[in-house]
């Protein structure tokens, strides 16, 4: 991996927020499927129920404020830190894959800690409709949820699911961001069989590398993602191990990959949009610096 220009720390957060606004209905569907205990939940069932019960906008974009707050904390830190660490390493020459993945893991852990409160609010807002009316949180927006969370559960409430969330964040950054750079570096200059096209540093390369990264990330992160969603959806005393044991007894080990399809349907396009937006923002930044 060769050296890169110095980009603003928050550039990744902006790109992730843009991507999240496009794919939020898919994220909402994934979380609702993960937090439901029934085996009947499906993408079409959840989408149809959401729209019929709440209307198109409220049904598909509930929690969008929390999604943006999450990207401007979790993704901003994980992507900004990764770029900063990678830039520092690249000053000494080409960066090995092992160092690249280690940088992604460290940055992912930092992002998981930074974004944990917003993640709790996002999970609760998007899964609220799956709970009995008397047990719903009824957060009006992300800031309202944050205030109520601290008021009702104390500062300790901000760390709920932190272990599962940080684990997922590490896995996500390694499998998504780290693998994107790996696939991008590996494909650059390679020909596409039977097509007669050679990958160049353009939209085609960025799309191909991000599609591969999205598939890897969905599979690697699925178990941690399901556990994280279930832990954060609870406000009681149940911990990660207790929820894990109960879920295994009731649903078997297959529950760890529950919601894989909506997760992929969401994370695939989200990964493509994230890196396409990010590459475009990087290009615009380079152009503004050179002008």
Confidence at 237, pLDDT banded by 50, 70, 90: low
Lowest-pLDDT range, 20-29, 71-80, 115-124?
20-29
Choice between 153 and 90, residue whose per-residue pLDDT is larger = 153
The tokens describing 179, both together, are 């693998």
pLDDT score for 40: 60
User: Is the pLDDT confidence value at 1 over 50?
Assistant: no
Query: What is the dihedral angle through the alpha carbons of 46, 73, 280, 266, rounded to the nearest 10 degrees?
Result: -20
Among 80, 18, 50, 98, which residue's Cα sits nearest to residue 276? 18
Q: What is the pTM of this model?
A: 0.80
pLDDT of 255 > 60? The answer is yes
Look at 53-67, 163-177, 230-244, 277-291 and tell me which has the smallest mean pLDDT. Answer: 230-244
Which CATH number does 11-285 carry?
Answer: 1.50.40.10
Per-residue pLDDT, averaged over 20-36, amounts to 83
| Higher local confidence (pLDDT), 58 or 1 | 58
Average pLDDT over residues 47-64: 82
- Phi, psi of 198, rounded to the nearest 5 degrees: -110, 130
Q: Is the pLDDT of residue 117 over 60?
A: yes
Residue 219 gets the label, from left (phi > 0), alpha (psi -120 to 50) or beta, of alpha
The token pair at 13 is 């957060």
Mean pLDDT in the chain?
A: 87
């Amino acid at each position: 991996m060769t050296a890169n220009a110095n980009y603003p720390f928050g550039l990744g957060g902006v790109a992730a927020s843009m991507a999240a606004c496009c794919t939020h209905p898919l994220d909402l569907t994934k979380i609702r499927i993960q937090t439901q205990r029934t085996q009947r939940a499906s993408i079409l069932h959840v989408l149809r129920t959401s729209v019929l019960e709440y209307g198109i906008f409220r049904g598909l974009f509930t929690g969008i404020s929390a999604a943006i707050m999450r990207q401007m904390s979790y993704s901003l830190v994980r992507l900004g830190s990764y770029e900063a660490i990678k830039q520092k390493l690249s000053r000494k020459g080409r960066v090995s894959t092992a160092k690249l993945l280690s940088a992604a893991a460290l940055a992912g852990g930092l992002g998981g800690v930074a974004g944990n409160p917003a993640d709790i609010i996002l999970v609760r807002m998007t899964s609220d409709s799956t709970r009995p009316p008397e047990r719903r949180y009824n957060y009006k927006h992300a800031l309202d949820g944050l205030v109520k969370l601290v008021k009702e559960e104390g500062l300790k409430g901000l760390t709920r699911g932190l272990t599962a969330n940080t684990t997922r964040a590490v896995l996500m950054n390694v499998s998504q961001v780290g693998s994107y750079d790996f696939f991008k570096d590996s494909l650059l200059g390679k020909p596409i069989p039977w097509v007669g096209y050679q990958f160049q540093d353009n939209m085609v390369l960025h799309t191909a590398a991000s599609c591969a990264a999205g598939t890897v990330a969905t599979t690697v992160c699925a178990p941690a993602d399901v556990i994280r969603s279930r832990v954060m959806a609870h406000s009681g005393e149940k911990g990660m191990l207790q929820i894990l044991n109960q879920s295994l007894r009731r649903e078997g080990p297959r529950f760890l990959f529950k919601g894989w399809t909506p997760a992929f349907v969401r994370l695939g396009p989200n990964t493509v949009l994230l890196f396409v937006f990010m590459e475009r923002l990087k290009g615009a930044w380079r152009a503004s610096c050179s002008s």
